[in-house]
């Protein structure tokens, strides 16, 4: 298989890119020549990712906003287009996870998880569409989860519901915008070795989960990033409305 072709003169917005999978995705796209806008609620974390990319002599900038804030999202997208000349790639990675049972989940927590994971994906996708349509080319890549196809390993029902919603949104939007030269796909990671996962469950439980998978380890953020980079490439131009698993065989159990 050929190497992923460079994406020079393309610009990407990656949400939740201050750490974990988002940071790895931002760095992987930058290595392909993409100009990267790093979004995160944590401005210091976002700037850390930017400095890492710039150290490799690639272009990057940070934009702090909450993906549940429609005005903030639109401002981020418009600023990106004005600064870099367009918005060609969107990776909806921002997410929150709580391991709360249904009986103990209050309405505020439910709404927050749905808002970040699902509404944020909708708001960011809506905001970039006109820019991608003007360019006649676009890639929207939504980070869902194995939870969207089954049940969350560590998160609550709100996490499972939000990630299932992302898959439905992905399929529907893909049909709407295919004729505009825009592809829309979802990536469904299993248990990935990130700060969010390490915060949610202890080391013993993490090890037990890993040993139960056909590939007996947690996934690496860099592995998810490589899959996202492929979906952003020209070579993936005939893939849309798809959900791609990267889970060590978790769903085969």
159 catalytically annotated: yes
Across the beta sheet with 243-246, the strand order is 60-63, 35-39, 11-14, 89-92, 138-143, 182-189, 243-246
User: Residue 124 in contact with residue 172, Cβ under 8 Å?
Assistant: no
Catalytic residue among 98, 159, 209, 238: 159
CA distance linking residue 113 with residue 122, whole number of Å: 14
Find all residues with CB under 8 Å of 213, minimum gap 6, and list them: 190, 191, 247, 248, 249, 250, 253
User: Residue 119 in contact with residue 162, Cβ under 8 Å?
Assistant: no
Q: How big is the CA angle at 190 (ends 54 and 70), to the nearest 5 degrees?
A: 60
CA distance linking residue 227 with residue 53, whole number of Å: 19
Please give the backbone phi and psi of residue 216, each rounded to the nearest 5 degrees, phi first: -85, 65
Active site residues: 159
């Amino acid at each position: 298989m050929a190497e992923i072709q460079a994406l020079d003169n393309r610009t990407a917005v990656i949400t939740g890119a201050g750490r974990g999978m988002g940071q790895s995705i931002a760095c992987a796209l930058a290595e392909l020549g993409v100009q990267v806008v790093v979004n995160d609620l944590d401005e210091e974390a976002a700037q850390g990712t930017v400095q890492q990319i710039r150290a490799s002599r690639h272009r990057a900038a940070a934009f702090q906003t909450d993906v549940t804030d429609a005005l903030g999202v639109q401002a981020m997208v418009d600023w990106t287009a004005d600064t870099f000349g367009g918005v060609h790639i969107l990776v909806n990675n921002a997410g929150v996870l709580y391991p709360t049972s249904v009986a103990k989940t209050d309405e505020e927590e439910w709404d927050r998880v749905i808002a970040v994971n699902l509404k944020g994906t909708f708001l960011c996708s809506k905001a970039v569409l006109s820019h991608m349509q003007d360019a006649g080319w676009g890639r929207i890549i939504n980070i869902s989860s194995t939870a969207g196809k089954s049940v969350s390993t560590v998160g609550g029902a709100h996490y499972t519901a939000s990630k299932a919603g992302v898959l439905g949104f992905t399929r529907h939007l893909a049909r709407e915008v295919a004729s505009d030269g825009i592809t829309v796909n979802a990536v469904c990671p299993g248990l990935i070795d990130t700060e969010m996962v390490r915060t949610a469950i202890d080391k013993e439980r993490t090890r037990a989960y890993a040993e139960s998978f056909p590939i007996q380890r947690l996934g690496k953020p860099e592995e998810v990033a490589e899959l996202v980079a492929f979906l952003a490439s020209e070579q993936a131009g005939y893939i849309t409305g798809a959900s791609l698993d990267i889970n060590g065989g978790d769903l085969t159990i």
